[in-house]
Amino acid sequence: MEQPEQPEQRKSERVQFFQMPRNEELVPVWVFQRASEDSVLGLLLDFSSDGVQILTDKSRRLDGDAYELIAYVDETDSSNFVSARVHRQWSKPVGTLYIRNGFSFADRDVSMPCCEAMFAARDAGLQWLRCEIVTPRAV
């Protein structure tokens, strides 16, 4: 007798795979979609109080200007995240698979708690942060 099909129990519908250098080897890094089905998944590689640099897959090009950045500041707890409005400043290819995107924070005062959480994650030893880039909804 055939078993009836069970609905999928996954909490994340989409995943993005990155190969990142660590020491002298490549490490697989997975980013799971949580915020929106339209979000672009990426790795936050570098940041300062002025902005961030994010690696994305070249198949998901960012053509707009204004976005919402959602950065997961804990490797094991996806409910621990920060967000900030950002403006894309530039994008450039990295090899054949990825694009490195530069963003500035839309409002430094509002983004300061986000920066503080990212600095704390870096101080805790995280080399990069998983993130999602979402087109902000009109308010």
Give the CATH number for residue 48.
Answer: 2.40.10
Structure tokens at 53: 């640099």
In a domain, 139, yes or no: no
Alpha carbon separation from 49 to 28, 34, 84, 87, 107 (Å, rounded): 28, 25, 12, 14, 10
Lowest model confidence (mean pLDDT) among 74-78, 99-103, 116-120 = 74-78
In a domain, 3, yes or no: no
If one counts the domains in the chain, the total is 1
pTM for the full predicted model: 0.79
Mean pLDDT comparison of 89-98, 108-117, 122-131, highest-scoring range: 89-98
Structure tokens at 61: 């090009």
In a domain, 1, yes or no: no
